Each structure stands twice: as C-alpha cells, then as structure tokens.
Structure 1
Amino acid sequence: MTDQNTTRGDSDRSKTDDENHDRWHVILNPVSGTGDHGAEVHSLASERGYIVKETESEGDAAALAKEAAEDGVQRIAACGGDGTIHQVLVGIDRADALDEVTFGVIPGGTGNNFAGNVGVRSIEHAFELLDGGERRRIDLGEADGEPFVNSCIAGLTSKTSSDTSSELKERVGTLAYVINGIQKAATFEPLHVAIDIEEGQGGNSTTWEGDALCLLVGNARRFTTGSQAHVEDGLFEVTIVEEMPTTEMLTEAAAQRLFGQETEHVTQLAAERLDITHKQGDGVEFSLDGEMRTHEQLTLDVRPGDLEVVVGPEYDPVPIEG
C-alpha cells in the first residue's frame, strides 16, 4: 500500500489531524480498468489538497478504508471499478463508521456501473462533485453481514462476470460480458433454488422455488433497463430468470430491455429481505458488486439510508420505472 499526501510544501504537511480528517482521502486502485488513470487522479487531488492512498494487492482497499475511518477521517472516496468501491465500503463498515463518513465515487474501472447510477460521469466530474456536489443518504444491501451497494447476482450473469478475462474487458469494455454470456448460456447448469421473499411495506411473504438461469438483486441497479434503481425506498429490485431454451433467451431479453415488462420466464418483484437456499450440489457463486462469494444459503437485507454518498445532477431520487 502506498500512502501519498498530494499537497505541496512543509506548511501543508504540518496540518493538524483535525484538518486532515476533513479533507478527502482517495483510495486509488491504479490498475483497475485500463490502468491509465493514476496520473490524472493524483493531479486533480493535488490541486485540491486531497490525500491519495494507492492499493498494491488484494485486500488493500478495505484495509486502507478501515484504517482511515478508525482514524476519524470523515470523507473517503474510492477510485476504481465496482469491486474497488465495494471493498472501500466494506472497510468503512468494518470500522463501524458509516454514520460518520461521506462517501465519494471516482470512476476508474471498466463498466463503472455504480458511478453512473449516482450521476458521476468521469474522473474530472467526480472531483468537481467532491468539491461541492449534493449529498444523499441511500440504501445499502447486506449479504450475510457483508454490505453491497449496487447489486448481488447469481447464476449465468455471475458466472459471466467472474469468467470474463481482463484482456477481453480491456479490448471491448462492457461488451466483453455480453460476448462471454452468449458463449456460456448453452452449457450453463441452472440453479436449483428456493427463495423466501419478504416484500416489505405491507406486502406478502412468498416463496419462489425452481430452476433459475440467474437471480438479479438490484440495490442501485435496475436490471430490466440497465438504469438507476430507486435506492432510497428501502427495497431491492429483484429479477428471477427461469431456465428456458437458449433460442428463447434473446426474445425474452429484448422484451425486458426494451419494455421492462414481465415475460413468461422472468419474474420481477420488490423485497426488503431474501433468504436463498441452493437445493442441489455445491454452493452458489454470488457476485456482490463484482466481488465473488460462494454460499449454499444466503440472506439479503436492505439497510435503509445507511450510506451518505456524493451524487451528480443526473442522479434521480425517485427514478421512473421502465
């Protein structure tokens, strides 16, 4: 891990701890995405007197965030992809400091899905927002005690995410996931799952059981349209895609993508809690914001308003469905 204070001069280095705690601390993954964003981040941080700490190995982002939060830092930004964002949030959560910390997002990954969902368009735009952008309290998801901010997915989509090579992602960007998904669909073994669902807000408690190609649980992400979900309502947006012939996949996917409608093999619902049990075989591989975890059973809960995050002007507190 590299700790670099990006301010200049002896007087800056002698700032008090209290002043340091009020400055933005940027946790930078220098090799995420195309790996060419480090110099720009350091330059923009230096202009503002922000502190930059670079990760060097797996686990550094969470450790650096935890250390900063425990030291009383009140403004922590993650620069990288969705996995880096996830790890920084995990570190803040481990320090039990989410109530005290304002979180910022600087897009430096391949897809930058969460950054887009909160209206952050670029690295330069992110720094402008850190300077004076709007703050909103948004929901977090929790998977057996581990927080996530964007999504939890299992099945074909999760397998596609974990198996897509860094080389392919670098060459074609987010299209890499689509290419890999098409290649794997024909041979993918479906999930045999039972899902106990608490819909919340006076809704019913129900159970879905069957064979699923994928389970998509969105906190900030809406899978039917690929857009921002309602992330201040205390509910997950859940999509269950049942096993179906490969020839029907594109038809159903097109209907979902274009119209956001429920189709024969696709179930959509809102829930505040899910209990997922895999009924056959080994554990299921879940992707929490791109970070892979394996569980035979998993409980997902919403933590309403648990995170204060800097958002851009395109962020919509109450997005229109569809």
Structure 2
Amino acid sequence: MKRARIIYNPTSGREAFKNKLPDVLAKFEQAGYETSAHATTGVGDATEAARIAVARDFDVIVAVGGDGTINEVVTGISDADQRPRLGIIPAGTTNDFARALNIPKAIDKAVDIILANHTCKLDVGRVNEHYFVNIAGGGKLTEVSYEVPSKLKTMLGQLAYFMKGVELAPRLRPIRTRIEFDDKVFEDEIMMFLIANTNSVGGFEKLAPEAKMDDGLFDLLVLKKSNVAELVRVLSAATRGAHFDDANVFHARAKAINVYTEEKMQLNIDGEYGGLLPGKFTNLKQHIEYFVPTPDQATLQIEEPIEEALE
C-alpha cells in the first residue's frame, strides 16, 4: 500500500485545514494511501518532519501551509537520493508557489489534484546552504516582504507590496553589486535583484512571465539605481508585465549565478530571511516531482472570491 505523510502548519489559513484534517485523511485512505499527519510546532519543524518522512520511506509528502512551509519541506527532502513525490495544499497569505502551479486554495480541490496522480518534475534552487522553490533575492526593496503585515498581504496582494515599496522609497539606498551569470557579468549600483524560478513573486504574477519551472534556468531581474518616480514607474509596469522595457531593469536567464556586494546585503529566500550575501545560486533541474493539475482540472480552476479571502 502507498504511504502518505501530511505535514501541516496548524495556524495557517485561520486553522481551516486543521478542522478538515479528518476528512482529508479519510479521502486519502479511500484512494488507497496509508496516511498520517504531523502538525508543525515552529520554524524548522517542517524540515525535520520531512527528513523523518524520507527516512521512513514515505511515497508521498503533502505540504500544507504557505510558501515558508513548502520551502521547509523541500529543504527536508532535497538532500535525499530517493525523494518522495510532493503534494501542495496552499494555506498561507500569498501562496506564490501554489499559484504558479495553478493549485487552488480550496482544500478539497487541492486534495483532488494530489489524488488524480498527475505529476511533473520541477526545478529547485539552491543558494549557499539553503533551498528555494520560488524566489531568492537581495536589496532593500526585497525586505518589504518582512514589513508588510500578513492581514494586508491577504487583503491587497501585490498592491500591499506596491504601497510599502513606495513608502520606503525615500530611504532606500543602492548598493554596488557584481553578478556573474553563466559566462557573463553585470556590475552596477542596484536597488534589488531577484532570482526567480516561477512567474509568481510576492503576488506579482507577471514579474517573470516567461519563467519555466522545469528548464534548469533562473530568471534574473535587477532593478538599477532609481529615484522615487522611477521606482513607482517600474512597480506600476511590473503589475502589467511591461517592466522589461524599462531602462532601469536588467533581465537575463541563467543556470548558475554568483552575487557579490561591496557592503552588507540581506538574502531573501521564498519570502524569509536567508542570511547575508555573497551567494552562489545553482539550479537543480527537475529535482522534485510534484502533483499538478491534470489538463481538465486546470481548465476548471476558478479563482477564490475576494469576499472569502477577506473573511
């Protein structure tokens, strides 16, 4: 019999998943899985729970929570030679990675995607000793994600980041940065850089519209030194996917990227603090096999009504 381990953040999504856990376990059992669950207790616990699940030879791990929980689970299985297949049930605020995979927030629908058994092998990023599934970056603007309240993220999505970025703009200072990507070099004063593995970043679904999750390549985006007016212009263009035409934006695609700075710059990994630069970024091509919607399921996805998100 197939064995599944559900690793969930009990505080995510207003505890909606915790309340539905008995129904989810029953549904997995009916589909032929021997299923158990682990509720995380704090930062890093999902990583340890995933490592234990790997050691116990579970066939499937299901990560339930936001991008941080998914990142921890991926970290827990990425070092293994034999990695379980990974299912996602989104229960966070922005859920960038789930959105990139077209997985809905409705728990029943997300479970149906896993049980449909349609999978795809996707890339994982690694920087220094950390893994990331969605985005890594640095610069003062990336620290906006730490300062936007969770409630505001839930209510306003990308607009929350836009507002906070404009608010912080007058006190942001560029940092001289050298970026080596494959056999090329970019060097300039920058406001931030982003290394994207998906097209959905901080609620911006068009920030890296050509990003593919299984080609072994990152999308590198750099915002050069900008004043407040230029920053507002770029952020506005980014909501439409028109920022590549801006002279203050540099874009490239690469499988390996090294970033060096002349002064301290924090590293942001999937929306969380990841230490300090310099950083060596490597793309692990098709490293983990995920459950994704079947073509029929993908065509039926309906975005959650905003009234439900605001409850």
TM class by shorter chain equals 0.7 to 0.9
1:37-70 Cα offsets, whole Å, 9 max, x none, are: 3212442223323322100112110110011111
Give the Cα–Cα distance (whole angstroms) in 2 for the partners of residues 89 and 239 of structure 1: 24
Q: Do the aligned partners of residues 78 and 174 (structure 1) sit closer, same or farther apart at CA in structure 2, a change above 3 Å counting? A: farther
Q: 2:233 aligns with which of 231, 244, 251?
A: 251
Give the Cα–Cα distance (whole angstroms) in 1 for the partners of residues 22 and 174 of structure 2: 45
Give the Cα–Cα distance (whole angstroms) in 2 for the partners of residues 135 and 191 of structure 1: 41
SS at structure 2 position matched to 1:253: helix
Q: Do the aligned partners of residues 48 and 297 (structure 1) sit closer, same or farther apart at CA in structure 2, a change above 3 Å counting? A: same
Counterpart for residue 89 of structure 2: 106
Q: 1:232 aligns with which of 204, 214, 219?
A: 214
Give the Cα–Cα distance (whole angstroms) in 2 for the partners of residues 155 and 74 of structure 1: 39
Q: 1:47 aligns with which of 27, 32, 47?
A: 27
Q: Say whether the 8 Å CA contact 1:117–1:228 is kept in structure 2.
A: no
Q: 2:164 aligns with which of 170, 173, 180?
A: 180
Q: 1:128 aligns with which of 112, 116, 121?
A: 112
The 5-angstrom pairing of residues 113-192 of structure 1 reads: 113-122=96-105, 123-169=107-153, 172=156, 175-192=159-176
| Shift, 1:163, TM fit | 2.1
SS at structure 2 position matched to 1:186: helix
Q: Do the aligned partners of residues 54 and 299 (structure 1) sit closer, same or farther apart at CA in structure 2, a change above 3 Å counting? A: same
Q: Do the aligned partners of residues 170 and 254 (structure 1) sit closer, same or farther apart at CA in structure 2, a change above 3 Å counting? A: closer
Whether 2:51 is the aligned partner of 1:66: answer yes
Q: Say whether the 8 Å CA contact 2:178–2:188 is kept in structure 1.
A: yes
Give the Cα–Cα distance (whole angstroms) in 1 for the partners of residues 136 and 102 of structure 2: 21
Q: 1:38 aligns with which of 7, 11, 18?
A: 18
Give the Cα–Cα distance (whole angstroms) in 1 for the partners of residues 22 and 145 of structure 2: 29
| Shift, 1:172, TM fit | 4.5
TM-score (norm 1): 0.82
Partner amino acid, structure 2, of 1:112: N
| Shift, 1:174, TM fit | 5.1
Counterpart for residue 287 of structure 1: 268
Give the Cα–Cα distance (whole angstroms) in 1 for the partners of residues 22 and 164 of structure 2: 34
Give the Cα–Cα distance (whole angstroms) in 2 for the partners of residues 91 and 259 of structure 1: 34
**Alignment root-mean-square deviation, CA:** 2.2
Give the Cα–Cα distance (whole angstroms) in 2 for the partners of residues 191 and 35 of structure 1: 41
Q: Say whether the 8 Å CA contact 2:181–2:257 is kept in structure 1.
A: yes
1:11-43 Cα offsets, whole Å, 9 max, x none, are: xxxxxxxx4xx2221100011244433212442
Any unmatched runs of 5+ in structure 2?
Answer: 30-34, 299-311
Q: Say whether the 8 Å CA contact 1:262–1:268 is kept in structure 2.
A: no
- Going by fraction, where is helix more abundant, 1 or 2? 2
Counterpart for residue 303 of structure 2: none
Q: Do the aligned partners of residues 129 and 167 (structure 1) sit closer, same or farther apart at CA in structure 2, a change above 3 Å counting? A: closer
Any unmatched runs of 5+ in structure 1?
Answer: 1-18, 199-204, 317-322
| Shift, 1:78, TM fit | 0.5
| Shift, 1:167, TM fit | 4.6
For these two proteins, the number of residue pairs brought into alignment is: 286
TM-score (norm 2): 0.84
